[in-house]
Amino acid sequence: MALTKNKHKSYDYIVIGAGSAGCVIASRLSEESRNKVLLIEAGPVNKSWKIDMPLAVENLLITETYNWAYESDPDESIKGRQISHPRGRVLGGSSSINGMVYTRGNALDYENWKAKYNCTGWGYSDVLPYFKKSETSLEGGNDYRGHDGPLFVTRPNLMADPVNKAFMQAGTQAGYPITSDSNAFQQEGFGPNECTIYKGERWSTARAYLTEDVRSRENLDILTETLVKKILIVEKTAKGVSLQTNGVSREVYADKEIILCGGAFNSPQLLQLSGVGPRDVLEAAGVGVVHELPGVGANLQDHPDLVIKFRCTKAIGLGKILKFPRKHLTGISWFMNRTGEAARNQFEAAAYLRSRVGLEYPNFKLEMLPLAFKHHTFEPYDGYSFQIHMTLMRADSRGSLKIKSANPEEKPSIKFNYLSSPSDIVALRDALRLTREIVSQEAFNDFRGEELEPGIKVLSDDELDNWIRENVATAFHPSCTCRMGSSDDPMSVVTPDLKVIGIKNLRVADASVMPEVVSSNTNAPTIMIAEKAADMIRGRALPQEQHSFYKAKDWMVNQR
């Protein structure tokens, strides 16, 4: 893909970050030919088969070719461990390196945004039209699903894989509901994990929104391998950006707005580098205070993730393609026809469940993977195995991001404080016991072998808590560091129209604006945020859509 260099020194709109949000916004704003739009990405063009092949995702997470490769600060609450946080540094951003799972979150997530944080215009009836606008559900459109959007969404056939089929049947045997579509009326229960894969290839926002027709627009310029060093702010008005390409610095200006789409790490980092943020953080880093905004970099949230692992007693799952000749035949099938195991992301069966009585809606997610990896690695166990990810969807722990200096190339300090809230470790402990109960069901009798991790001897609360602290990792969903809320809330960074408080002509539109992380993977909600932001900037909005959503009737007295 040949990318244009910026032809102008000034644009109407400058979009910083060509990731899950930035590609959407640049595409939508440039639909109007009178708008001159510049899209800037620090990483290269997405031209690798490793990005296109769904099964190659692990390689993208452990190399730095298309990855910022962040690492969290040591967390005392998880025994001083640091956790790797890959984030996309490539056209398409993290949508070009993620696991391709398409999940929107629960309707009550958005109702809570509106009610708890005064985020007017962000209730479920407000956001549903933008989810629909963004997607083409290959199952067909309806009241909840889109039929003509740029993002293709595929639903896997769970009955085609014996382990996935057993997982679904075990859920029913354990007394949980089944849902045919967790992105529609009912999130709660066992069901298919939809994905952004189309015709055997990853469907990132770069692919969906920056098509050849879009890239050829005269009013859209795209700069890759270009670092934004700071936003130029004059008299509390964003005027332009300072860029660096191949070691050469220059300035580019925006006549209307600058839209920051760097994500939960890069957006607060760039605001702080530009003098917008907590005074103590800016002064410690040697950055002059342009506007004191204490919420920038605060409220950092994520989805803590645990994995329980089992041997499989049958020759099924991904274990059967790990060695010659099946491994090579799998690759050939994909390269020749875009078919076979390499055309799937393998996270195809999932469940959204409540860990205890008294929760209105699911607080953890299970995802089945028909292969188990050894402790803290991507090296599979020998033979046949499977693992189940247990992801806490609404953790109470909060962290922060702080720049260390005025150098834009120095990575910031990222402190998650995982499990610092006692309620989080209790929820994960409950989730582990509930998952063991699910795997103990009759449906798994033909497949269930030895519990590899944590192992059947790890039983008591203290033993489980110790194992959890040693093994909790991330589902790669950092968010909430530039949270939206009312302008009189001292920790709000943007108002519900996504404008940065105290700075004119500057918005943030990405996962960082979430006041609370949604109860799902974050890519689909980030795309929705970007679609809605683009309409806000253009001075329009889709009408609300009032559709009902599921909530267990007896949630006050029953866990399932």
Tell me how far apart the 2 most distant CA atoms of the chain are, in Å.
69
For the chain, domain boundaries: 20-125+195-302+405-417+478-543, 158-192+304-392+420-471
Q: State the CATH architecture for 20-125+195-302+405-417+478-543.
A: 3-Layer(bba) Sandwich (3.50)
| CA-closest candidate to residue 447, choices 310, 304, 306, 250 | 310
Report residue 364: phi and psi, to 5°.
-145, 155
Q: Where are the beta strands (DSSP E) in 163-293?
A: 189-192, 197-198, 201-202, 220-223, 226-234, 237-245, 248-260, 276-277, 291-292
Query: Is 453:375 a contact under the CB 8 Å cutoff?
Result: yes
Q: How far is CA 156 from CA 331, 395, 475, 558, in A?
A: 20, 29, 21, 30
Q: Spell out the alpha helix ranges (H) of 216-370.
A: 263-273, 279-285, 326-337
Q: How far apart are CA 4 and CA 2, in angstroms?
A: 7
Alpha helix positions (H), 286-340: 326-337
Q: What is the pTM of this model?
A: 0.97
* 315 Cβ neighbours under 8 A, 6+ residues apart: 384
Q: For this structure, is 477 an active site residue?
A: yes
DSSP 103: -
DSSP code, position 532: H
**Pairing of β 226-234 and β 220-223:** unpaired
Would you tell me how many other CB atoms lie within 10 Å of the CB of residue 156?
19
Dump pLDDT digits (tens) for 449-474: 999 999 999 999 999 999 999 999 99
Q: Tokens at residue 16, please? A: 């910083």
- Local confidence pLDDT in tens for the 560 residues of the chain: 335 555 667 899 999 999 999 999 999 999 999 999 999 999 999 889 999 999 999 989 988 999 999 999 999 999 999 999 999 999 999 999 999 999 999 999 999 999 999 999 999 999 999 999 999 999 999 999 999 999 999 999 998 899 999 999 999 999 999 999 999 999 999 999 999 999 999 999 999 999 999 999 999 999 999 999 999 999 999 999 999 999 999 999 999 999 999 999 999 999 999 999 999 999 999 999 999 999 999 999 999 999 999 999 999 999 999 888 999 999 999 999 999 999 999 999 999 999 999 999 999 999 999 999 998 888 999 999 999 999 999 999 999 999 999 999 999 999 999 999 999 999 999 999 999 999 999 999 999 999 999 999 999 999 999 999 999 999 999 999 999 999 999 999 999 999 999 999 999 999 999 999 999 999 999 999 999 999 999 999 999 999 999 999 999 999 99
Residue type, 546: Q
Q: Which two tokens stand for residue 513?
A: 């604006």
**Six token digits for residue 349:** 């069966």
Element (H, E) at 15: strand 10-16
Give the phi and the psi of residue 15 in degrees, each rounded to 5: -110, 120
158-192+304-392+420-471 has the same fold as 20-125+195-302+405-417+478-543: no
Cα gap 247→332, rounded to integer Å: 41
Domain 158-192+304-392+420-471 has CATH 1.10.287.1040: no
Residue 387 pairs in a beta bridge with 309, 369
User: Among residues 8, 376, 477, 547, which one is catalytic?
Assistant: 477
Dist. CA 386–CA 297, nearest whole Å: 37
**Number of Cβ atoms within 10 Å of the Cβ of 96:** 29
Element (DSSP H or E) covering residue 507:
strand 506-508
Tokens, residue 384? 């046949």
The first and second tokens of residue 337, run together, are: 């026809």
Q: How many CA atoms lie within 13 A of 516 on its CB side?
A: 23
Residue 285, classed as helix, strand or coil, is: helix
Q: Other CB atoms closer than 10 Å to residue 200's CB: what's the count?
A: 18
Q: Per the structure block, which two tokens stand in for 447? A: 């497949």
What is residue 105's DSSP assignment? -
